[in-house]
Amino acid sequence: MKQVRILFLLLFFSFGINSYGVVYESVYIKCDSLTTVDAVKLPYYTFSPTDSFVQQNHRVELMVGDTLDLWVHNTDSIDHYFDIQGTTGVRDTIPANDSIHVVHQFTTPGVFIYYDPLKFPVYAYMGLSGMLLVKDHNHASFYWNTKEHDSTFNYTLASGGSVLWNQYNPKYFTINGISHPNIMNNPVINIAGNVGDTLVLYISNTGYGMRSIHFHGYHGEIMFSSSKPATVGRVKDTFPIYPMEAVMIQIVPDKPGVYPVHEHNLVAVTGNNFYPNGMFTLMNIQP
Amino acid sequence: MKRQLQILVTLIILSASVNAQVVNEFLVAKTDLNPQYSLWDGKLTKLMGYTRLLSAPINLPAPTLTFTEGDSIHLDLRNMSQNAPHTIHLHGLDVDQQNDGVPSLSWQVYHSQTGTYKFQAPHPGTYIYHCHVTTAIHLQGGMYGMIIVKPLSGNNVTWDGGYSYDKEYAWMLSELDSVWHQDSLFNHNYDTLNPMMPVEVPDYNPQYFLINGKSEQQLSDTSIRINAQANSTVYLRLAAIGYCGNRIIFPSALNAQVVSTDGRPLPATINLDTLELFPGERYGVLLKPTTEFTDSILVQYKNMNNHQYKSTQKVPVDIDGFVGIEENILDMDVQVFPNPNNGELNILADGFQLGILELTILNLWGQSIKNLEVMKEDGTPIPLDLKDLNKGIYFIKLEQNNQSKTIKTIIN
Ligand SMILES: [Cu+2]
Ligand SMILES: [Cu+2]
């Protein structure tokens, strides 16, 4: 029955699409473990791009007007849900060991979080929350999906237990699943470009906590926020990002230099109580 | 001929250098050997910090550095502490890499050495400076202060063409966890060749929640508590440098309006009673009370991970209706018209005798800014020309034979 509905959707969209493209994607709900900066393993889920687990969620990229044709495969033994921020009608259940097909056209630019709303925030926290980008530019872009991890919470939630979120005390802080020093040399994370370039950093906060990201060297402009539209147009050096908020920040460097970009809550620049093994990375601007 | 050319060249060089105002500042980096800094409950703590004088005790926050837009600044840092070196990161000033104060990317100041940071201050606003060596420890240790950049056009304006104000306050929000203020942390391992070497730190569970290094009853300090006149404008600079998030709740009678953040004007100002700010952020808020009242601004501190509020600090707010000036004659009929006016005004001083009256013009804070003598003639108002004063609220004190009366006027 589900397949019949999908067929109708496909027919509908094949007539509606003109010059815009269709972006075909598949993601797999995979349950495995996150390996931390100090090689500890925590129970963890991701939306992996293939049927084998990878430690970061697959990033979905579209241009404005594109239609996303997405299969979400649930390889887990329990039912999950699926939703994309900023859309209506996408939210659906994915039975255990089953799949759903999502077809949706994106007509406004931005950055949105796709996630599993099951027992929210439990499964989004356990890893099932990734980035979906709808671009209206071709500027050099960098992508940070940020999360924190409290080992006790991961073990308790993985075994079906319940947690008190007001006791949440994460010890690991990751960008795309990794921490300092592993985020010092990563072409997706490290902003790089030349003086005068327009550089774009997309940041999503898919953790439970609050982010405050500080740029050395340059101010940037907030071009988009998925949940705080009143902040668009602000020119800042420190960017708060609320849980389940995603932002687009634009920087036009006026001078060369290698500068840090880091969390300014310095607890988030630790990994299992070691500074600076958290959210501390570099930006490299050449003349 | 050759000599004249040389003189000419010298003159040109001199006149060029006059335009760029070079400002010299000097700070000492120190670490307390014994606990000396008084917390609100009487306990003493050790600090790491910056002082202007070697002999001065370390204070929280470090001295506020005030510059003028366009200044070229030479900031000397002399390190008189043992153990790890120190730096100054000029948070928000977007300086070049050499002067950014990040030890792995520029240079560090070792024990008994001096380094000079050279930078400009191009945008008026509120900034922060702090050490960037093993930052989690040195910042919590106390190595942070505020930088205020004033616009060229004067002291009491947010930026050129921005908002004018009568009075300003600057609050630096932070916390202190006494577990971190121990020699075992202050004397952490450090490899000068590998400044990013991992260093272990305790969990962060602050016991003290600070505004300019003070909390609880200490917040009645006149540099923190808001004391202003009704119908005046206060500019409140806020800078968050702790590891907690902050929520500020203003009494709605303060008519709070956020106009700037991180050293830049907001694209659109916002009127609000609740403002959140997070580590490293700054905001500029105009407070525009229109009535006399007493209340508090609440400053809350919340855990960045679990969003639990850990403390609410109350800062007293006193908005006065009038400047307190003693009156010898209370029922004397004195009027000013028109009111408000453009600086040209008339005074009716019926209760005074004909003859000379002494006039004192006072600003909102009761400071005398002008004295004059005028002649009171029978049946005619006394004309007064105050067009040389800035727009604002003034008080005019009339005196004769040890009797006086003060009236308020608004020039706009
Ligand atoms: Cu230091
Ligand atoms: Cu900073």
Task: Determine which of A49-53, A87-91, B32-36 has the lowest per-residue pLDDT on average.
Answer: A87-91
Residue count (chain A): 287
Instruction: Measure A59 CA to nearest chain B CA, in Å.
Output: 25
Share of chain A residues as helix, strand and coil, in percent rounded to the nearest 5 = 15, 45, 45
pLDDT in tens, B225-258: 999 999 999 999 999 999 999 999 999 999 999 9
Residue B12 pLDDT > 50, yes or no? no
Tell me what pLDDT residue B16 has: 41
- Which of A164, A180, A267, A280 best probes binding to B when mutated, by most B CB atoms within 10 angstroms? A267
Q: In chain A, what are the domains?
A: 4-137 (2.60.40.420), 148-286 (2.60.40.420)
Residue in chain B nearest A261 by alpha carbon = B102
pLDDT in tens, B378-387: 778 888 899 8
- The pLDDT-based confidence of B109 (bands split at 50, 70, 90) is very high
Residue A119 pLDDT > 50, yes or no? yes
Residue B6 pLDDT > 80, yes or no? no
Mean pLDDT of chain B: 90
Tell me what pLDDT residue B135 has: 98
Q: Do residues B373 and B357 lie in contact, with contact meaning Cβ atoms separated by under 8 Å?
A: yes
Instruction: Measure B3 CA to nearest chain A CA, in Å.
Output: 40
Residue B14 pLDDT > 80, yes or no? no
Tell me what pLDDT residue B78 has: 98
Determine the distance separating the centroid of ligand 2 and the alpha carbon of A267, expressed in angstroms.
13
Cis peptide before B340 (omega within 30 of 0): yes
Contacts of B92 (CB under 8 A, 6+ apart): A219, A237, A238, B125, B127, B128, B147, B262, B263, B282
- Please give the DSSP secondary-structure letter assigned to residue A271: B
> CB-CB: which of A167, A257, A271 is closest to B97?
A257
> CB-CB: which of B94, B276, B279 is closest to A217?
B94
Residue B322 pLDDT > 70, yes or no? no
Q: Which ligand is nearest to the CA of B129?
A: 2
Residues of B in contact with A277 (CB under 8 A): 198
Residue B405 pLDDT > 90, yes or no? no
CB contact under 8 Å between B281 and A233, yes or no, is no
Instruction: Measure B59 CA to nearest chain A CA, in Å.
Output: 22
Residue B20 pLDDT > 70, yes or no? no
Q: In chain B, what are the domains?
A: 19-159 (2.60.40.420), 190-320 (2.60.40.420), 334-411 (2.60.40.1930)
pLDDT in tens, B123-167: 999 999 999 999 999 999 999 999 999 999 878 999 999 999 999
Average pLDDT score over residue span A157-179: 97
Average pLDDT score over residue span B290-312: 97
Residues of B in contact with A275 (CB under 8 A): 134-137, 198-201
Residue A7 pLDDT > 90, yes or no? no
CB contact under 8 Å between B100 and A181, yes or no, is no
Give the closest residue to B59 by CA, choosing from B50, B71, B68, B70. Answer: B50
pLDDT in tens, B118-133: 999 999 999 999 999 9
Tell me what pLDDT residue B81 has: 95
pLDDT in tens, B37-84: 999 999 999 999 999 999 999 999 999 999 999 999 999 999 999 889
CB contact under 8 Å between B198 and A275, yes or no, is yes
CB contact under 8 Å between A270 and B266, yes or no, is no
Cβ atoms < 10 Å from Cβ of B368: 11
> CB-CB: which of B92, B100, B137 is closest to A259?
B100
Task: Please state the pTM of the whole predicted model.
Answer: 0.84
Determine the distance separating the centroid of ligand 2 and the alpha carbon of B288, expressed in angstroms.
30
Average pLDDT score over residue span A162-183: 98
Contacts of A179 (CB under 8 A, 6+ apart): A36, A37, A172, A173, A271, A277, A278, A279
Instruction: Measure A10 CA to nearest chain B CA, in Å.
Output: 42
Residue A142 pLDDT > 60, yes or no? yes
Tell me what pLDDT residue B15 has: 42
Q: Which ligand is nearest to the CA of B87?
A: 1
- Please give the DSSP secondary-structure letter assigned to residue A189: T
CB contact under 8 Å between A234 and B266, yes or no, is yes
CB contact under 8 Å between A275 and B270, yes or no, is no
Cβ atoms < 10 Å from Cβ of B291: 9
Bridge partner residues of A146 (DSSP): A175, A205
Bridge partner residues of A221 (DSSP): A235, A250
Determine the distance separating the centroid of ligand 2 and the alpha carbon of B90, expressed in angstroms.
7
pLDDT in tens, B163-208: 999 999 999 999 999 999 999 999 999 999 999 999 999 999 999 9
Residue B34 pLDDT > 60, yes or no? yes
Reported ipTM: the value is 0.92
- The pLDDT-based confidence of A4 (bands split at 50, 70, 90) is very low
Residue B18 pLDDT > 50, yes or no? no
Residue A5 pLDDT > 70, yes or no? no
Residues of A in contact with B91 (CB under 8 A): 214, 237
Q: Which ligand is nearest to the CA of B133?
A: 1
**Residue that wins the pLDDT comparison between A109 and A3:** A109
CB contact under 8 Å between B261 and A236, yes or no, is yes
CB contact under 8 Å between B281 and A208, yes or no, is no
CB contact under 8 Å between B305 and A210, yes or no, is yes
Average pLDDT score over residue span A203-220: 98
Show the tokens assigned to A54.
């990878």
Cβ atoms < 10 Å from Cβ of A125: 28
